[in-house]
A and B are shown apart, each in its own frame.
Chain A
Amino acid sequence: MTVPENLSYTAEHEWVAIDGGVASVGITDYAQQALGDVVYVSVPAPGTAVTAGEPFGEVESTKSVSDLYSPVDGEVIEANPEIDDDPGLVNTDPYGSGWLLRIRVADDAEPAGLLTPEEYTALTKEAE
C-alpha cells in the first residue's frame, strides 16, 4: 500500500492535493485495494457546490458500494473524463490517472480535518 508524502488524506480514504486554490481528489491505494475492481464512479457535474464532509458521489465495485465525501467546501470545476469509460484507472493508478474530481476551494474556507501521510498510515494500520 502506498501513501504518497506530498498529499493530504481524509478518514474516508480519499486523498487531496491543493494547489492554487484547486483541490484534486481521488481515493487512496488502501481504499482501492479494499474495494476490489471498481466498475462505476458517480461524481457531481462541474458547477456543483460541495460541502466538506458531505457525500457527493459513490464508487461501485464488484462486492460493494461506498459513498464519496467532499474533503473541502467549494465548487466542482472538473470531473476526470476518463473514469466513465475506464473506472479501472482507480485501481491501477489511484493517485495519478485515476483521480476523480477537481474542486475550486471556497475563498473563505480553510480546509480542516485533513490528515498527514503519517496520520493516514496510522489510521489504516488501526483498521487492520
Chain B
Amino acid sequence: MTTPDAAKPRSTPLRAVHEQLGASMTEFAGWLMPLRYRSETAEHQAVRSSAGLFDLSHMGEIVVAGPGAAAALDYALVGQPSSMTPGRARYTMICAADGGVLDDLIVYRLGDAEFLVVANAANTAVVDSALRERADGHDARITDQTDDYALIAIQGPAAAAILGPLTDIALDGVKYYTSHRGTVAGREILLARTGYTGEDGFELFSQPGDAEHIWLALSAAGAMAGLVPAGLAARDTLRLEAGMPLYGNELGPDTTPFDAGLGRVVKLDKPGDFVGRDALAAAAQAPPRRVLVGLRSGTRRVPRHGYPVLWDGQPCGTVTSGAPSPTLGVPIAMAYVEPEVAAETGAAAETGAPESRLAVDIRGRAEPARMNPLPFYHRIHDRPR
C-alpha cells in the first residue's frame, strides 16, 4: 500500500530542496508536493518559452517482470505492450470489466521481460492490486517500486539544450516516447522523452538518494537559459492547454476511453482476451454518450470543475477542468457535453456563426462560452519522432 498513514502525507526525496526554494507546499494524493514556488503563471510561461523543472516523485512506479510479463500486461491493459520493442514507451489505460477507466498510464518496455508501469499517485495502489489480480496465472512478478524511484521532469523548448551537456546519452537520437539508460550529472538514470506539458521534454527516473544532486545540477545548468522550478499549479494549466486529460477530471470509473476521445488506445484487434474487452467493443460501436470538448470563456470568470454547461439555458454537460490560460489570456475549460451540442457548436465554429446559445453556469450566473478545438495549445517547435 502507498498510504500507510492518511493523516501524514508522504514526502518526496526533494522535499528539502522545495522548502529551501520557498515553495508553497500542498497535499496531493497523499503526498506533500510543491504547488508553486513563486508565481505559477511565470512558471507556466517559463515552460512554454524556456524550460521548467518538476518533481514528479509522487507518481507510482510498478515493475512487471518475468517471462509472462508481456502477456500479463496485454490481458491487464487496453493496449498491447507485447508489441513494443525494448526502449519504447506508450500511453495506455487500465480499465475495469465495464470499460470504466481505472487509470491512465505510461508503460515503458525496459527489456524483453521487464516493463515499468507509471501510474497516477492517487491510483498507484489500485493499479498495483489490479495488476496482481490480472497477472494471476502468468509467470510475472508485480512490484510497487514507487519508493525506489525519484522522478524529475525537465520540460520546455530549452530542455534538450540544458540537459544535453549533463548526460552521456545523445539526445538527438532519443525519439519521443522512448527511454534510455545512462547518466545525468554522473548519476545513473532512466531517461525518457515524455511529458505532460505539451512541450518537448524529458523525464528522469533515478535513485531517491541521487535526486537532489540531479535537480541541483539541472537548476545550475539551466539558470542562464531561463529554467525555473515549476509546481503542480503550472503543471495543471500546462496540461489543460495541451488538451491532456487528468484522471479524476476527464477520466474516471464512469468514463470509457472512447468518452474521452481516446479510443485509439484501446487495441480491440489484439489477440487474446483483455479486461474490459466486451464493454469496450460495445462502446466503440455505440453512438457516443457524451463528447469531450474544449471551451473558451466569453468573460473573465473561470469555468471550473463541476460547473454545468448550458445550451439555451438548459444543462447539457459538465466542466471537467478549467483555468485561466496564461498562453491564451482567457479562461479555458474542458467539458463533457451531449453529442448533439458538440455537433451543433462544432458546425457553428466552422461557419463562424455565433454560439450565443452555449454558456457555463458560473456560480449561478450563465456566462457565454464558445467551443475551441482541442488542444488549445500546440507547440511549433519541431520534435524528433
Q: A residues near B, CB below 8 A?
A: 33, 36-37, 39-40, 42, 58, 60, 62-63, 65, 91
Q: Is the interface of B mostly helix, strand, loop or mixed?
A: mixed
A33 touches B24 (CB 8 A): yes
The minimal Cβ–Cβ distance linking B23 to chain A, given in whole angstroms, is 12
User: Which residues of chain B have C-beta atoms less than 8 A from A58's C-beta?
Assistant: 301, 363
Given A33-B24, A40-B324, A60-B324: A65 in contact with B304 (beta carbons within 8 A): yes
When chains A and B are docked, how far (Å) is the Cα of A40 from the Cα of B36? 19
Given A37-B39, A91-B39: A60 in contact with B363 (beta carbons within 8 A): no
B61 in the interface, Cβ–Cβ < 8 Å? no
When chains A and B are docked, how far (Å) is the Cα of A39 from the Cα of B233? 14
User: Which residues of chain A have C-beta atoms less than 8 A from B40's C-beta?
Assistant: 36-37, 62-63
B207 in the interface, Cβ–Cβ < 8 Å? no
B233 touches A63 (CB 8 A): yes
User: Which residues of chain A have C-beta atoms less than 8 A from B121's C-beta?
Assistant: none
Contact of A60 among B41, B233, B302 (CB under 8 A): B302
Given A60-B324, A62-B233, A63-B233: A40 in contact with B39 (beta carbons within 8 A): no
The minimal Cβ–Cβ distance linking B21 to chain A, given in whole angstroms, is 15
A39 touches B363 (CB 8 A): no
When chains A and B are docked, how far (Å) is the Cα of A91 from the Cα of B237? 19
The minimal Cβ–Cβ distance linking B234 to chain A, given in whole angstroms, is 9
Contact of A36 among B36, B300, B302, B363 (CB under 8 A): B36
Contact sample, A vs B, 26 pairs, CB 8 Å cutoff:
A33-B24, A36-B24, A36-B35, A36-B39, A36-B40, A37-B39, A37-B40, A37-B41, A39-B300, A39-B324, A40-B301, A42-B301, A58-B301, A58-B363, A60-B301, A60-B324, A62-B237, A62-B323, A62-B324, A63-B35, A63-B233, A65-B301, A65-B302, A65-B304, A65-B363, A91-B39
A-B CB proximity, top 4 nearest:
A40-B300, A39-B324, A37-B41, A60-B302
Contact with A along B228-243 (1 / 0, CB 8 A): 0000010011000000
The minimal Cβ–Cβ distance linking A5 to chain B, given in whole angstroms, is 25
User: Which residues of chain A have C-beta atoms less than 8 A from B304's C-beta?
Assistant: 65
User: Which residues of chain A have C-beta atoms less than 8 A from B35's C-beta?
Assistant: 36, 63
When chains A and B are docked, how far (Å) is the Cα of A63 from the Cα of B304? 9
User: Which residues of chain A have C-beta atoms less than 8 A from B24's C-beta?
Assistant: 33, 36
Contact of A62 among B41, B300, B301, B363 (CB under 8 A): B41
User: Which residues of chain B have C-beta atoms less than 8 A from A91's C-beta?
Assistant: 39
When chains A and B are docked, how far (Å) is the Cα of A33 from the Cα of B300? 21
User: Which residues of chain B have C-beta atoms less than 8 A from A60's C-beta?
Assistant: 300-302, 324
Extra pairs beyond A37-B40, A63-B40, A65-B363 (6, CB < 8 Å): A37-B41, A40-B300, A40-B301, A42-B301, A62-B233, A63-B233
**A39, A58, A65, A91 pick with most chain B CB within 10 angstroms:** A39
The minimal Cβ–Cβ distance linking A59 to chain B, given in whole angstroms, is 11
User: Which residues of chain A have C-beta atoms less than 8 A from B363's C-beta?
Assistant: 58, 65
